[in-house]
Every structure is written in C-alpha cells, then in structure tokens.
C-alpha cells in the first residue's frame, strides 16, 4: 500500500529523533569528536562556517566546527522535536541568531505564537489609548464626565497618564484648574531622595504645561 505523506513525514521524524538522541549521547561523552574528514558526510551533520560566526558573535566561547541534529522539548506543548543541523546552520549563519540561542518551540507552536501576537487584544495598547483619549479631552470644553476622567487619571498607577491629565487641565484653564496646577508647583520637593517622587514630576509637568499653554502668570 502507498504511504501517505503524513506517514512518510512521521517516519522521517522518528528517524531524526533517534539519530539526534544518539548524537546527544555521543556529545555527553567527553572528548568524542567526529573526525574532520567524515563529519561533512555524516547524516544529520553540517559543517559550520566559523568566519561567518565570528563576524556576528562577540563571544569568548568556542564556536562550533559543525552542527548536529539536536533533540529538544517544545516549551509550549511538550512535543519531542529535532532542531536539524541544516536548520541550525540557517539560523546561525543566514539569520545570524546568537550562538547561545536555541530552538524552543515546535513549528505548530511557533505559528500559534505568531498568530496570538498578531491578534493581540487592544488591551495591549491600553496605556496608549487612554493617553490619546485624555489628550483629546483637552481639545473641547470640559464636561462633568471629562473632569471626572481627568481626576481619575491623576490617580493612575501610570505616571505618564497623570502627566497627560495635568496637561489637559492646563489646556482647559479656568480658575479651579489653574489653582490646582499652582498647588502642584508649590509642592515641589527639593533634591535628595525625594528627587524621584511623584510630587517633583507633577510640579515640573504643571510648570511646563502652563508655559506651553501660555497661562504662565
Ligand atoms: Zn509545540
């Protein structure tokens, strides 16, 4: 009976796994090297081009003379896989992957990961979205809900968002906002350990925001 492609691929994979396990066992034994003249002909082996590796790897470690099929366990699904010598040569010498980098995922899991990253939910850009939204509020007259949003942003765990809230207040102007900004400036701590305090960042942000909106008294 004719073998299907799937069967054939499975058989090839089994043979590769066996070969890789054997060569891994060989490498574990000390001082075992394939003879220079033979390694290029050995199955699952590729000679390395050290002149290429040297150009892209600033390492004190020893660069390999050849690549051998390496067995590895997929980080995501746990499948036993083989990183072939040919794939390694391509990775290190064509893509210039660092000499210490290793295969971590099987092909199916690499594809799944790429897909996940491509379809990342907008939550990944939440800070960016909130920042844009807050800035846009400064373009219009403040409504009650806009004021509430800015007040909430001033308490945000992200200081960058608090700074945008301060800028929005400066753009709105008005007695209450200007008073609040001057209050922040007055609370600026002196140097020392307080240098990285939020109060200092807030005071500087308020001063800059007022200068930019020409509301500097
Ligand atoms: Zn996998």
**Domain parsing of the chain, residue ranges:** 5-114, 122-212
CA distance 178 to 163: 15
- Residues 148, 138, 203, 180, CA torsion sign: negative
* Distance from the alpha carbon of residue 10 to the mean position of ligand 1, in angstroms: 15
Distance (angstroms) between ligand 1 centre and the Cα of 29 equals 29
What distance in Å separates the CA atoms of residue 62 and residue 110, rounded to the nearest whole number? 29
Residues 6+ apart with CB under 8 A from 41: none
Give this prediction's pTM. 0.44
Q: What is the pLDDT along the chain (217 residues), one digit of tens a residue?
A: 567 888 888 888 888 888 877 777 766 654 444 444 444 445 688 899 999 998 888 777 788 999 999 999 999 999 999 999 999 999 999 888 888 889 999 989 998 888 887 777 666 678 888 888 999 999 889 999 999 999 999 998 888 899 999 999 999 998 889 999 999 999 888 766 666 788 888 999 999 888 877 654 4
CA of 76 to the centre of ligand 1 (A): 5
Tell me the HSE value of 129 on the side-chain side, using a 13 A CA sphere: 6
| CA 73–ligand 1 middle distance (angstroms) | 8
Give the distance (Å) from ligand 1 centre to CA of residue 117: 16
Q: How far is the CA of 83 from the centre of ligand 1 (A)?
A: 13
Pairwise CA distance, residues 148 & 142, whole Å:
10
Nearest to 76 by CA among 108, 98, 101: 108
What is the 104 CA–ligand 1 centroid distance (Å)? 9
Spacing, Cα 140 to ligand 1 middle (Å): 51
Q: What separation in Å is there between the alpha carbon of 5 and the centre of ligand 1?
A: 20
Nearest to 211 by CA among 174, 170, 183: 170
Ligand 1 centroid vs 166 CA: distance in angstroms? 48
- The residue among 190, 192, 187 whose CA lies nearest residue 205 is 187
How far, in Å, is the centroid of ligand 1 from the Cα of 81? 8
> What pLDDT is stored for residue 217 in this prediction?
44
Gap from CA of 99 to ligand 1 centroid (Å)? 22
Q: What's the 43 CA to ligand 1 centre distance in angstroms? A: 25
3-state secondary structure of 158: coil
Backbone angles phi, psi at 71, to 5 degrees: -75, 145
How crowded is residue 209: how many other Cβ atoms within 10 Å of its Cβ?
23
Question: How far is the centre of ligand 1, averaged over its atoms, from the C-alpha of 158 (Å)?
Answer: 36
Instruction: State in Å: Cα 82 to ligand 1 middle.
Output: 12
Say what the pLDDT of residue 194 is: 64
Helix (DSSP H) and strand (DSSP E) numbers for the chain? 10, 4
Q: Token match 């004719």: residue?
A: 2
């Amino acid at each position: 009976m004719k073998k299907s492609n799937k069967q054939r691929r499975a058989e090839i994979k089994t043979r590769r796994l066996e070969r890789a396990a054997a060569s891994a066992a060989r490498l574990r034994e000390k001082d075992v090297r394939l003879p220079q003249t033979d390694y290029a002909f050995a199955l699952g082996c590729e000679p390395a081009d050290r002149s290429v590796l040297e150009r892209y790897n600033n390492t004190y470690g020893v660069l390999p003379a050849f690549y051998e099929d390496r067995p590895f366990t997929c980080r995501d699904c746990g499948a036993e896989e083989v990183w072939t010598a040919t794939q390694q040569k391509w990775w290190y010498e064509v893509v210039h992957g660092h000499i210490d980098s290793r295969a971590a995922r099987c092909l199916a899991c690499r594809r799944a990961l790429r897909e996940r990253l491509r379809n990342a939910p907008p939550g990944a850009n939440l800070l960016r979205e909130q920042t844009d939204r807050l800035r846009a509020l400064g373009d219009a007259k403040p409504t009650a809900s806009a004021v509430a949003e800015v007040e909430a942003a001033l308490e945000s765990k992200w200081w960058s968002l608090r700074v945008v809230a301060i800028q929005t207040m400066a753009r709105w102007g008005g007695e209450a906002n200007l008073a609040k900004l001057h209050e922040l400036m007055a609370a600026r701590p002196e140097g020392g350990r307080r240098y990285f305090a939020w109060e200092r960042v807030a005071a500087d942000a308020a001063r800059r925001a007022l200068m930019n909106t020409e509301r500097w008294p």
